[in-house]
Amino acid sequence: MNIIISTLNAKYIHTSLSIRYLKAYAQPDYEVQLAEYTIKDPIMNIVGDLHSKKPDVVGFSCYIWNIEETMKVIAMLKKINPELIIILGGPEVTYDVNDWLDQIPGADFIVMGEGEVTFKSLLSEIEGSQDYKRIGGIAYREDGKKIIQPQNGKVDLKSLPTPYRLEEDRRDLSKRVTYIETSRGCPFSCQFCLSSIEVGVRYFDREKIKEDIRYLMNNGAKTIKFVDRTFNISRSYAMDMFQFLIDEHQPGVVFQFEITADIMRPEVIQFLNDKAPAGLFRFEIGVQSTNDHTNDLVMRRQNFEKLTRTVTMVKEGKKIDQHLDLIAGLPEEDYLTFKKTFNDVFALRPEEMQLGFLKMLRGTGLRIRADEHRYIYSEHAPYEILGNNVLSFDDIVRIKQVEDVLEKYWNDHRMDHATEYLVNTVFQSPFDFFQAFGTFWDQQGWSRIGHQLEDLFKRLLQFLAFREPSQLETITGLMKLDYFNNQKFKPRKPWWEPSLDKQGRKEIYDAILSEPELLGDKYSALGLNEKEIHKHTLLEALPFDLGIYLTEGTIIEKPSIMLTYFDPGGNGSKVFAMPDSGISVL
């Protein structure tokens, strides 16, 4: 048989771990081809490519992000070749199987739950006697009747062959995210999450995993993401793996983990702060809500005080970036209580803060009991909520406006100085700033068009001129600092009109050349001559004392000069402060 296993990833850089497990387990009895696409690829292109491979069997790994497009691919493939056998698997089709058999008439079989053993057994029956009743964990039709056969017991994870050493993956390891799992299952019972359905946590062979990680690094993998639902559920296990990764990591490799922050012990964090190289690890932490009543309703145990301690200790260590998740739309969390959740989490100043919206996933307790909180939600994946008894659709639209500008203006860290001033000084809270700006952004129609970096500065300036004109001069100065701070090379033309005329710039440069210590020892150490200072620096007048701001974080309304040096090698910029010497500005 000519067998293909396929999936549609969200982006090209993503890879599917599930189809690699299926291929590895099917070998050597069955030679399986992998075919990965993205949800942005034209359907005709996907179908054309799959058809050109002349398959007898095609399996699709299905998730909420790809099911709608996958259904279109299946329908077209079946029209072209009605004899083609199509097998579906993955979390999206594991639940409500009876419904999926109706929705996807082109699917011949659905594999429920863990698929390695089941998929191989199914291939054996397709090729052999076709006695499908002998296989547990599948659904299919027979003589017009739906047959749904219960799943078998759990797979012995230590018996699974490695999916990380496929020859066809080697050349692209440096270009794509490599997903790896050291355990399956989750100890928690969060009712909005599919992981809560599987009871208990099972582990792969630890030493085999270490060998796989060595192989991946030796073959160029740069971003390795652990998909374990709670990497640190076992402290001894996490410590052993952290130590291994610290001892044997290679330059440029980054490891990402999903951790439960409130169970992480201070001594573990201190170990990481002391031993881990900066940038080696990245933590993803699901906060979701700081509302205790809401957390109780979704059976989510969380101690926000301990979570705060963990996030704060990690941040103070300056070694590990943190990505904190929120979910809008959880039970009994209305607009105002979600605003509190947002402000509670933003106060921790995570490097990234993702604002997501509740998705009523098939099989979860929250979807099963949706009527209890009068949830309404989309019938199509990803089943995002449209409202409930305390959160209207209008509220959801407003929170989506917050999400849009949060991503552009905080998570990308283009304007940290300006944003900090706005959320601390100008607006009552961080949420109030992002909401006001997000609403204005939407009203201008900017959410429907693309933006260059300079456009983002101009958009914020336009909003502030409308909303807070009295603060405009100071905030504009901070935005100029942000802009220069984030440039790898000297910009050809900043987004603002220069504040110094030619004569003013000449006088300042002459003063610096004759007395470079005006800008401090770090500037003097650069040893710039007259040609270099004109070629690699820019000057700008600011309405506040830059030196005091950089050292103390305090805005003192006293003019100063900002000199920014742009490393000609593209290594970024350095900002230096010079007291204003009476130079007139334009």
Q: What is the DSSP letter of 364?
A: -
Mean pLDDT of 460-489: 94
Tokens of 226: 């652990």
Q: At what angle do helices 304-317 and 266-275 cross, to 10 degrees?
A: 10
Mean pLDDT of 483-509: 91
Confidence at residue 492, expressed as pLDDT on a 0 to 100 scale = 87
Strand partners, 357: 328
pLDDT bucket at 22, cuts 50 / 70 / 90: very high
pLDDT bucket at 581, cuts 50 / 70 / 90: low
Q: What is the percent of the chain with per-residue pLDDT over 90, rounded to a whole number? A: 92
Tokens of 580: 């204003």
Q: Cβ distance 232 to 261 under 8 Å?
A: no
Mean pLDDT of 227-241: 94
Taking the C-alpha atoms of 161, 167, 168 and 171 in order, what is their torsion angle to the nearest 10 degrees? 120
pLDDT bucket at 16, cuts 50 / 70 / 90: very high
Q: Is the pLDDT of residue 440 over 90?
A: yes
**Which helix H or strand E contains 294, and what residues bound it?**
helix 292-297
Mean pLDDT of 560-564: 95
Q: Is the pLDDT of residue 445 over 70?
A: yes
Question: What mean pLDDT value characterizes the chain?
Answer: 95
Confidence at residue 580, expressed as pLDDT on a 0 to 100 scale = 62
pLDDT bucket at 373, cuts 50 / 70 / 90: very high
Say which residue the tokens 């983002």 belong to: 456
DSSP code string of 477-520:
HHHHHHHHHT-SS--SS-SS--SS-HHHHHHHHHHHHH-GGGG-
As a whole number of angstroms, the distance between CA 122 and CA 109 comes to 9
Could you read off the pLDDT of 118-154 as tens digits, one per residue?
999 999 999 999 999 999 999 999 999 999 999 888 9
Beta strands in 236-365 (DSSP E): 254-259, 281-288, 321-328, 352-357
Q: Cβ distance 398 to 435 under 8 Å?
A: yes
**Which helix H or strand E contains 180, and what residues bound it?**
strand 177-180
Report angle CA 142, 123, 180 to the nearest 5 degrees.
120
Could you read off the pLDDT of 51-62 as tens digits, one per residue?
999 999 999 999
Terminal alpha carbon distance of the chain? 76
Mean pLDDT of 294-323: 97
Other C-beta atoms closer than 10 Å to the C-beta of 40 total 11
Could you read off the pLDDT of 242-285 as tens digits, one per residue?
999 999 999 999 999 999 999 999 999 999 999 999 999 999 99
The pTM of the full predicted model, rounded to 2 decimals, is: 0.93
* 429: three-class secondary structure by DSSP: coil
